[in-house]
Structure 1
């Protein structure tokens, strides 16, 4: 038996009738389709078309957005695809490994459910995040974005509302929201669009402002005036959302009502600092930790950290317990945060009386 004899392929139409209608040339070879046959099938007016280098669409007519998404990912991974012969009668090959590549930018935000991101069919190109040392070039509907530090992708199936989806469609690896936002903002010049995207990230519960600002800082985008303005709106939105959750935590978990948004002072003495909530009879203070890197660099950020630490130390020397709660903690573990506050309030009976302080509206 001659082991070099190629497998007899099934009729080529069975490939297009399978669950996947986008294959690499390596996968076609695994089905016994030679390079010459692929070229013939992709001739002008033929039944197939080359969508990207090394990636073939197995039907005529325009591709769906889902097919374009899988195509750009196949394009980034095509030289890594192992060509394993497929036995005659076997179904189409399983979804190809995409390596470390993932969809990012505006397409990723649309897949994450952003209403302010454009619909997939309106995007001429899809951004694909790959390791920095990959030797790829942008072409067709694939725009290559390189990074030395790849995030962990989220796997999302294209919703029917975004595109026509065939049964059994494979999920797409997508960059997490903060990274996708940074890559989207890098290509945008319209201040209103940037502001809408950043605001929706927080208002829609996709992520916390600090995570977004961290990615924008790493991408060196905070020197652009329209981005700085959008970040100010983002942080204000994040602060408002965190305050709303804090009110709900006190109400829903049966905590005693504090005085809200106050300043503390020593009688006739210095200002001790502002607080989001204070229980005078328990001498327990609560502060939302909404720190985030701000435009202007690290010194301001370090100064803010120092101010938080100074305030906490001063109040605790006066016998006041300070509880710090993060917006993320309120969002993801409100019951646990309420338990921390309740424990601090209950422990006040076992402490020495705190120093007398003046409570003023902030």
Structure 2
């Protein structure tokens, strides 16, 4: 050692390649940087800065959106577990970073990561919402807003970050929004963009007890109408693209001179086969649910079956994810009509 060698060299060189340039206090200790040394580096005019409590940004400039996201997860996540010898357990390939355990990005930031065009840019967000278990003993701080929940969903991995699925991210975003137009845009894009089905969105909104808010109710009504239109379009394309005979669309069925049997989305009179699209969505939390609507649908279906009419029940999700399989189901029902007893004669009316 000579007189030009610093007595306590700054622990910077071996961290120069860290990306993103943000580490928690626990991670810094693993790299040999004590809390005192980290604090010294984060003093005004120093090479680092404190991004959040216990989280350091390893440069003096403003954080990038990526650094803010990683910093938020480092702040909210549990410290990584350790092996018996004190070595941090490393996550398996493709699994979330160990330091982010039990934390995921949610709300508007998550929707931006899911590529929603109606969600704001990450850098414009004053707060980043992070979903954590209700038992997590931590408070919101800085630009991080903690959202607590029970029974957290499995996160999706986007650019190496754990992100809440779209339905949950939507519910957490809507909980912070008062503008009806913004809420309607976000819900509409979720369905129109193919991110999820309306029923999944409404379940999350119901679980968050948001369906009693007028601006949310209006947006949900628009969402369900749009979701039904999309499902009907999928059914039209399925019939055309798989060479099925043309049905009559959106009709009411009645017994001659008798009662109304209900409406169906498609009907093949020569085969006595009807299709019902299930575009219902729960409007209440499951604990408060009323199954009267479902019971009425089931009774109507049973009545049609007793009259010899085969009812094929399809959901928007099935039409989206497995159109070939659903086409096979319909084709099989149409072909089987020749082996059944003739169905009762019904009157078919447009609705």
Count of residue pairs brought into register by the alignment: 335
Alignment match, 1:279: 268
Alignment match, 2:209: 220
Alignment match, 1:246: 235
Cα distance change, pair 299–152 in 1 and its aligned pair in 2 (3 A): closer
Using the alignment, how far apart are the partners of 2:306 and 2:288 within structure 1?
27
Alignment match, 2:36: 36
Q: 1:295, CA displacement in angstroms?
A: 5.8
Alignment match, 1:154: 156
Alignment match, 1:202: 191
Q: 1:76, CA displacement in angstroms?
A: 1.4
TM-score, structure 2 normalization: 0.91
Alignment match, 1:110: 112
Alignment match, 2:319: 330
Alignment match, 2:282: 293
Cα distance change, pair 33–303 in 1 and its aligned pair in 2 (3 A): same
Cα distance change, pair 9–235 in 1 and its aligned pair in 2 (3 A): farther
Using the alignment, how far apart are the partners of 1:355 and 1:85 within structure 2?
74
Q: How does 1:57-96 map to 2 (within 5 A)?
A: 57-77=57-77, 79-80=79-80, 82=82, 95-96=97-98
Listed one character per residue, the Cα deviations across residues 199-255 of structure 1 (whole Å, up to 9, x for unaligned) are 100000000000000000010001100000000000001000000000000000110
Kept in 2, the 8 Å contact 1:32–1:85? The answer is no
Alignment match, 1:24: 24
Q: 1:17, CA displacement in angstroms?
A: 3.0
Kept in 1, the 8 Å contact 2:23–2:57? The answer is yes
Alignment match, 1:175: 164
Q: 1:20, CA displacement in angstroms?
A: 3.2
Which secondary structure does the structure 1 equivalent of 2:231 belong to? Answer: helix
Using the alignment, how far apart are the partners of 1:59 and 1:118 within structure 2?
26
Q: 1:16, CA displacement in angstroms?
A: 3.2
TM-score, structure 1 normalization: 0.88
Q: 1:149, CA displacement in angstroms?
A: 1.1
Which secondary structure does the structure 1 equivalent of 2:100 belong to? Answer: coil
Using the alignment, how far apart are the partners of 1:78 and 1:43 within structure 2?
26
Alignment match, 1:304: 293
Cα distance change, pair 247–53 in 1 and its aligned pair in 2 (3 A): same
Q: 1:100, CA displacement in angstroms?
A: 1.2
Listed one character per residue, the Cα deviations across residues 72-129 of structure 1 (whole Å, up to 9, x for unaligned) are 100112545659679xxxxxxx954311100000000000010001110100110000
Cα distance change, pair 212–289 in 1 and its aligned pair in 2 (3 A): same
- Structure 2's unaligned 5+ residue stretches are 1-7, 89-95
Kept in 1, the 8 Å contact 2:20–2:66? The answer is no
The partner residue of 1:265 within 250, 254, 276 is 254
Listed one character per residue, the Cα deviations across residues 288-313 of structure 1 (whole Å, up to 9, x for unaligned) are 01111126988885121011111111
Which secondary structure does the structure 2 equivalent of 1:150 belong to? Answer: coil
Q: 1:29, CA displacement in angstroms?
A: 1.3
Alignment match, 2:91: none
RMSD across aligned positions (CA): 2.1
Using the alignment, how far apart are the partners of 1:85 and 1:284 within structure 2?
64
Cα distance change, pair 14–222 in 1 and its aligned pair in 2 (3 A): same
Which secondary structure does the structure 2 equivalent of 1:335 belong to? Answer: helix
Cα distance change, pair 52–298 in 1 and its aligned pair in 2 (3 A): closer
Cα distance change, pair 22–298 in 1 and its aligned pair in 2 (3 A): closer
- Structure 1's unaligned 5+ residue stretches are 1-7, 87-93, 158-170
Kept in 2, the 8 Å contact 1:228–1:295? The answer is no
